[in-house]
Amino acid sequence: MSSKKSKSNNEWICSGSDIQKIRNQWIETSNSNLPILIIGERGVGKSFWIQRSLEQRNITTNSIFHLDFQYPFLFTETLEKIKSSKQMVTLLIDRLTKAKPDEVIQLQQWWKSEKYEEKSKVYLYWEIHSDELDILNQKNVYSDFYDQLKSFRFELPNLKKRISELPQFVSQFLEEANTDLGKKITGIEEEFFVFFKNKTFKTNLSELKDMIFALVGFSSSKHLHWKQIPSHFFENQLSELEVRPGISLETYEKEIIKANLIYTKGNREKAAKLLGISERNLYRKLHEYHLEDLS
- Strand positions, DSSP E, the chain: 36-40, 64-68, 89-94, 122-129, 153-155, 187-188, 223-224
- Strand positions, DSSP E, 167-250: 187-188, 223-224
Distances (CA, A) of 191 to 2, 155, 188, 226, 241: 34, 31, 8, 6, 23
Task: Calculate helix-pair angle for 141-149, 101-114, nearest 10 degrees.
Answer: 30
Is residue 198 a contact partner of residue 236, using CB atoms and an 8 Å limit? no
Q: Whole-prediction pTM value?
A: 0.80
- CATH fold of the domain at 17-157: Rossmann fold (3.40.50)
Is residue 154 a contact partner of residue 36, using CB atoms and an 8 Å limit? yes
pLDDT score at 2? 42
Q: What is the DSSP string of 63-76?
A: GEEEEETTS---HH
pLDDT score at 237? 53
pLDDT 10s digits, 32-72? 999 999 999 999 999 999 999 999 999 988 899 999 999 99
CA–CA gap between residue 140 and residue 101 (Å, rounded) = 9
Single out the residue of 228, 273, 207 nearest to residue 45, CA to CA.
207
Contacts of 11 (CB under 8 A, 6+ apart): 168, 172
Per-block average pLDDT, block size 10, for the chain (295 residues)? 49 92 97 96 98 95 95 96 93 98 97 79 97 96 97 97 95 96 93 85 96 93 86 62 74 83 83 88 89 77
pLDDT score at 152? 97
Give CATH 3.40.50.300 domain extents, the chain.
Answer: 17-157
